[in-house]
Structure 1
Amino acid sequence: MLDNLPRGTIFLEDIEIGMTRHLQKQVTDEDIGMFAAISTDRNPVHLDEEYARETTFEGRIAHGMLTASLISAVIGEQLPGHGTIYLGQTLKFMAPVRPGDMVRAEVTVEGIEYAKRRVTLATRCIVGDTVVLKGEAVVMAPSRKFD
């Protein structure tokens, strides 16, 4: 289940360094199954508990890109929001996300390049006190001058 989120657009002209937005979502077996079907990534570490128990993870884990997609949701729905264009994203997977984990995806504005409408965002996902993913996104933010 997702938090009740503010959705919409924060225009380039209103974005400030340090501005942060987030969402929380519990990753379910259904989410993992749907992601496997959509992505066609049916690696048994995600889908087969018996297989996954024999891996370094000692049990099933969610797809890393499923977790990363929560960052995309924050960027596309909240900061900057509707009309944002992804230009790039780095990701470092720090720890596994397991079925049932509550993931908090966060983005924080680190830089703004007004002439190119570019915004650099620190991105991370957290389960409890553990950072499970971190990286940086560069996006083109919507602007009142061009909309």
Structure 2
Amino acid sequence: MTTINTGRDREVGFKATVEVQITDKMVRQFAEMSGDFNPIHVDDEFAKTTRFGRRIAHGMIMGALISRALNEKVGSGGVYLAQHLKFVNPVFIDDTVTIELTVTGIRREKGIATIETTAKKQTGETVVKGEAMIMMAQS
């Protein structure tokens, strides 16, 4: 479970980004961990025959990178409660993605925060849109 903390400096409107390059190693390790060996992710020859023309990264790699960004940029010490994700464009091996976080709501009495989560490729093209909900660590 990812841990999250939103201190007093993490108010509504707080923004942060994390940039990550998607590598072949990352995709293969994710396939091993998840058991998802769909050839669109791991087989170059198969992927050439698809509408994408090459391998694409697992969508949930983006979910994991959002979790990482929440922990690194919003802070640790709380709990990741929920994540809505919409995959809008493919991510290819060697793409560089920027995870963008924006705190959109904080219910201090409940200790809950909502965070808009977006991922964009180096081209500026959005690849994932979503929203996370976290339980803030107690200060």
TM-score by length of 2: 0.92
Aligned residue-pair number: 135
- Aligned mate of 1:100, from 91, 94, 107: 94
Q: Percent identity?
A: 40
- Asked if residue 120 in structure 1 is aligned to residue 114 in structure 2, the reply is yes
CA distance in 2, matches of 1:115, 1:9: 15
**Counterpart position of 2:20:** 25
**Counterpart position of 1:5:** none
**Counterpart position of 1:77:** 72
Instruction: Please say which of residues 49-58 and 36-45 is displaced more in the overlay.
Output: 49-58
CA distance in 1, matches of 2:125, 2:47: 21
Question: Shift of residue 51 of structure 1?
Answer: 0.5
- The letter of the residue matching 2:106 is I
**Counterpart position of 2:48:** 53
What SS does structure 2 have at the residue aligned with 1:96? coil
- Aligned mate of 1:88, from 64, 82, 91: 82
Alignment RMSD: 1.3
Structure 2: state its 5+ residue gaps: none
Question: Shift of residue 143 of structure 1?
Answer: 2.2
RCO higher in structure (CA 8 A, sep ≥6)? 2
Deviations 1:17-69 (A, max 9, x none): 11011110111111111111111111000000111111121110000000221
